[in-house]
Structure 1
Amino acid sequence: MAECLLTIDTSTPAGSVALSRGDELVGEVLLNLRSTHSDRLLPAMQQLLREAELSLAELDAFGVVLGPGSFTGLRVGVATVKGLALATGKPVVGVSSLQTLALQAPYPAYPVSVWLDARKQEIYAGRYHWEGGLPVALDEERVAPPEVLLEEVSEEMLFVGSGAVAYRSLIVRRLGSRAHFVPWPLQQPRASSAAALALSAFRNRETIPLEVLEPRYIRLSEAEIMLAKRPADSPIEG
């Protein structure tokens, strides 16, 4: 019987939930709204399961986008999946938000450069090519200013992601005709794309023990940055 997965993406404000059965998308809820993920995540999950006439106990696994992305959003998504996995005993697989976005540019003629807006004039970035029906990373995911990333581009490149939207004029100014972009509906990660990656990971038995399931932030949080700046002999309050 085909594997049934519920996959959650809260890496950006456009949070989404997908229900899949094998290689078939049963349903997806995507809302790019001002309300928080904690407000709309559970209702979206309940809606999908109710319409599909499925219970949590009938699922085979949970998929979750681990990051990079919004620190708060990622924490909500991972915590929700941890709770569901503990309650049901179902396994969890985690996927990358950048690889999820790369999946939305299938079989391009050029390498795919995924840019997710990291704020603070920085980009979460990764480059991919297609192999075996899925995007495969060409380098390590990282965070860097857009100008630094563009200095390393010497060939034609397909850009995807909110960072590509935010810095499109800069990209075109630097690369000219070497820069290509996916259509706007494909510029934000979708749980349905993450579900395809989650299914592949589940079939390869790449499940994650709950005790080590954590968001993948890539860069330090504000609290960690402030702690690193504190002098070694500074007293710790509390």
Structure 2
Amino acid sequence: MSEKNYLVIDASTEACSVALLYQGKTSSLYELCPQSHSLRLLPMIDELLTTADCKLQNLDGIIFGQGPGSFTGVRIGIGVTQGLAFSANLPVVGVSTLQAMAQQALNEHGETRVVSAIDARMSEVYTGYYEADSNNIMQPKTAESVLAPELVKQHYIDKVNLDLADLPYGVGTGWEAYKNDLADLKSNTGEPEILFPHAQAMLFIGQHAFEQNKGVEAEHAQPVYVRDTVSWKKLPGK
């Protein structure tokens, strides 16, 4: 991979995470700060850039968390990405929240088969199944979906021939939120160690995307909500 410099921004979940690859060195900041992304994201970016003595003009691109996750958080992350990219005329690449957590499982634990499940509220989870490719990047083997927890098992049996005797590794908040429906679908027991995405995992995926010329202009940075807006109708009695 060529020597390029990238900033990574993610605010798509309760975590706020930024990373910087500059002159071959990687640095990052990570905070759990629900409801405070708009206050913390820019100061965290400024701290990373200042500490590394890096200016936006020194970068070759910006990588951002595109969702799924919190509608507000995804919009905040993309808004900041677009503002910075426009100001320095930088290309951008979006990375899936679910894919990033699967990548963390590979990077940190050597897991090559991963199911990500994020609590999507409204008694649903955002979920996707990933396997490592020859470049050690976790690639989706199904379309990312939003499902009722009780439907997830059959979904993966149908889509990837899930073998209940050889389960994948589980990451994300969905496993704890809906443990009764999901617990027997992952090899790791209890609450997953990896609950939220980290910008460093997005950096690894985003670098390869830039190498494949998948960078786009800032105006084309798009969120991936997964959930159809029709699903946001009020629940009975609400």
User: Normalising TM by the smaller chain, what interval?
Assistant: 0.7 to 0.9
Could you state the TM-score of these two structures normalised by the residue count of structure 1?
0.85
Secondary structure (helix, strand or coil) at the match of 1:179 reads: coil
* Displacement after TM superposition at 1:188 (Å): 1.4
Report the AA paired with residue 159 of structure 1. Answer: G
Question: Paired residue for 2:168, among 146, 157, 174?
Answer: 157
Structure 1: 4+ residue segments shifted above 6 A: none
Report how far residue 182 of structure 1 moved. Answer: 8.9
Shift of 1:93: 0.9
Select which of 132, 144, 147 maps to 1:144. Answer: 147
Cα pair 1:113 1:125 within 8 Å, conserved = yes
Match of 1:18 in 2: 19
Q: Whole-Å Cα distance in 1 between the matches of residues 143 and 80 of structure 2?
A: 27
**1:25 shift after superposition:** 5.3
Percent identical among aligned pairs is 32
- Following superposition, the deviation at residue 187 of structure 1 comes to 2.2
Deviation at 1:113, TM superposition (A): 0.7
Out of 131, 140, 147, which is 2:133 matched to? 131
Letter matched to residue 149 of structure 2:
P
1:147-226 matches, cutoff 5 A? 147-152=150-155, 153=157, 154-155=162-163, 156-172=167-183, 174-175=184-185, 179-180=187-188, 184-221=192-229, 225=232
Structure 1 position 105 matched with structure 2 position 108: no
Match of 1:117 among 96, 116, 119: 119
The one-letter amino acid paired with 1:18 is: A
SS in 2 for 1:90: coil
Instruction: Supply the distance in 2 between the matched residues of 1:66 and 1:74 (Cα, whole angstroms).
Output: 6
CA distance in 2 between partners of 1:143 and 1:225 (Å): 12
User: Cα deviation per residue 1:194-219 (whole Å; 9 max; x = unaligned)?
Assistant: 11111111111101233332211111
Q: Report which of the two structures shows the higher radius of gyration computed on alpha carbons.
A: 1
Q: Distance in 1 between matches of 2:125 and 2:25?
A: 30
Give the secondary-structure state (helix, strand or coil) at the position aligned to 2:81.
helix
Partner of 1:90: 90
Aligned residues: 220
Correspondence for 1:7: 8
Measured on the aligned residues, the alpha-carbon RMSD in Å equals: 2.2
TM-score, normalising length: structure 2: 0.85
Deviation at 1:179, TM superposition (A): 3.5
Amino acid at match of 1:115: A
CA distance in 1: counterparts of 2:81 and 2:33, whole angstroms: 21
Query: Which whole-Å CA distance do the structure 2 matches of 1:126 and 1:182 have between them?
Result: 19
> What's 1:235 paired with?
none
CA deviation after TM superposition for structure 1 residue 97, in Å: 0.6
> Distance between the aligned counterparts of 2:196 and 2:21, measured in 1?
19
Distance 2:219 2:61 in 1: 16
Check conservation: 1:160, 1:181, Cα contact below 8 A.
Answer: no
Match for 1:213: what amino acid? A
